[in-house]
Each structure stands twice: as structure tokens, then as C-alpha cells.
């Protein structure tokens, strides 16, 4: 806590406050938090202590050094209950998405009526879409219709998270790409109020196309490495 306090800067404090963060906070940059993460590694006991401080920067560090493999579903729910700004919400969802409870939390959280819980659920869906070994395409496909039908009436930041999940499904799952693009076109522009920040909600059709292009470009390189190893 002393090291984070010493690393705090007013400019970052102002930035985090614009993103809806509430005091107490020091205003520590992610660069400094990543340095601490590298030193600490995974330490769930420390993560729990950091979370209990209630300090925003300490809680962000807690999500970086947490060990998702040993966190219980109850602990994840408790952390999410305090994640009522977009920075912390995304951070807690990232921990949940790397835990053994990811699929169940994606299912339960995204169906919640509250803005922050449903946002976290859809953010976990996006992580599952990227982790092709965890969830099959068949489990993600019905979510495209859910996004198409529900996104317009969803709470503000949940719309951003749903759009992110749609992009992740289309970008990481080639077999679902055409359906994801069709869903994005049916949805149209997703309006999200990002407050006094410079954050934006990306156009899903364009972003999926960029991800597909990058994947196509990487494919020959992967094949080349595989051929070299086989020799």
C-alpha cells in the first residue's frame, strides 16, 4: 500500500474518477501496477487482503495477482458486488473468465437485471469465446440471437459488454463469423454513454473483419513454424 501511495499521481486520479471510480484511490498507473504484479506473481491470500482495503488501486492489483484457479464462486460474487464502475467491472470479469466457474458465471451474471452484473457476465462470454478449448461453438451460437433481441433494452454499459461479446464470437469463432456479422448488422449502431471519457464502443462488423484479417495473416506463419518443427 505504501508503494502504491508513493506511485500515485493526480493525473491518473482524475482519469479514474472520470471512469466512475470512487475514493479512496491513489491514482496508480497500470504500468506501475504491472510492475508489482510481476514481482508478486499469483498470491490469492494477498489478493484477498488488498481487496479488503476498499482502495481502488489496491483492488485492481488484487485482480492482477489473484489466483482464479482457487477462487470460489462465492468470492467472485462478493468481488463483483463491489465492482460498480467500468474499470473494476472489467477487472473482476477478467478474473472470473480465467476461473473454473467461468461458464456458470457467464450464464448467471449476464441474465441479471443490474447493469454491472450483466455487464460482467457478457465480458466473461467474450473471454470464453476467445478460449476455444473451454466452450464449444454450439454453446455460443444461441447467444447471438440473445444479443440481437436484447441489446437495445439492456442497461448502458451492458450494451457495451454485449457488443464486445458479439465481436469476440465473430472474431474468434470462424464457424460462427457469418452469423455474428449478420447479428451485428441487424443490431446496427450500439449507443453507449461513456461519460466524460474518450472510450468508444466499436463497430462490430468492422472489428470482426479486422480480427478475421489478422487471423488469416497469421495462418501462413503458423503453418511455416509447424513445418519447420516437423523437419
pLDDT digits (tens, 9 = 90+) for 135-157: 999 999 999 999 999 999 999 99
Would you say residue 92 lies in a domain?
no
Asked, for residue 130, whether it belongs to a domain, the answer is yes
Domain hosting residue 115, numbered range: 102-230
Q: Roughly what angle, to the nearest 10 degrees, separates helices 137-150 and 115-130?
A: 140
Residue 57 covered by a domain: no
> How many separate domains does the chain show?
1
All residue ranges of the chain with pLDDT < 50 are none
Q: Specify if 60 maps to a domain.
A: no
Is 19 a domain residue?
Answer: no
**CB atoms near residue 202 (< 10 Å):** 14
What pTM was computed for the model?
0.93
Calculate the dihedral angle through the C-alpha atoms of 144, 171, 198, 196, rounding to the nearest 10 degrees.
20
What pLDDT digit, counting tens, does each position of 41-86 carry? 999 999 999 999 999 999 999 999 999 999 999 999 999 999 999 9
Residue 179 resides in a domain? yes
Q: Which three cell numbers stand for residue 123?
A: 465480458
Is 225 a member of any domain?
yes
Is 116 within the bounds of a domain?
A: yes
Amino acid at each position: 500500500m505504501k508503494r502504491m501511495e508513493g506511485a500515485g499521481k493526480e493525473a491518473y486520479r482524475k482519469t479514474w474518477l472520470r471512469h466512475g471510480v470512487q475514493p479512496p484511490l491513489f491514482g496508480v498507473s497500470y504500468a506501475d501496477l504491472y510492475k508489482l504484479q510481476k514481482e508478486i506473481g499469483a498470491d490469492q491470500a494477498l489478493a484477498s487482503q488488498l481487496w479488503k482495503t476498499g482502495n481502488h488501486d489496491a483492488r485492481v492489483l488484487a485482480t492482477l495477482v489473484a489466483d482464479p484457479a482457487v477462487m470460489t464462486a462465492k468470492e467472485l460474487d462478493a468481488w463483483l458486488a463491489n465492482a460498480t464502475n467500468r474499470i473494476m467491472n472489467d477487472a473482476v470479469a477478467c478474473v472470473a473468465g480465467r476461473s473454473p466457474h467461468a461458464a456458470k458465471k457467464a450464464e448467471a451474471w449476464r441474465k441479471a437485471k443490474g447493469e454491472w452484473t450483466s455487464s460482467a457476465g457478457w465480458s466473461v462470454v467474450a473471454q470464453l469465446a476467445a478460449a476455444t478449448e473451454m466452450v464449444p461453438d454450439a454453446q455460443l451460437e444461441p447467444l447471438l440471437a440473445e444479443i440481437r433481441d436484447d441489446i437495445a433494452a439492456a442497461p448502458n454499459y451492458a450494451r457495451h459488454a454485449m457488443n464486445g461479446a458479439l465481436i469476440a464470437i465473430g472474431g474468434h469463432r470462424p464457424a460462427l463469423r457469418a452469423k455474428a456479422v449478420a447479428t451485428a448488422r441487424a443490431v446496427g449502431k450500439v449507443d453507449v454513454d461513456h461519460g466524460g471519457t474518450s472510450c468508444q464502443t466499436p463497430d462490430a462488423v468492422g472489428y470482426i473483419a479486422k480480427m478475421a484479417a489478422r487471423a488469416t495473416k497469421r495462418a501462413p506463419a503458423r503453418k511455416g513454424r509447424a513445418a519447420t518443427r516437423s523437419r
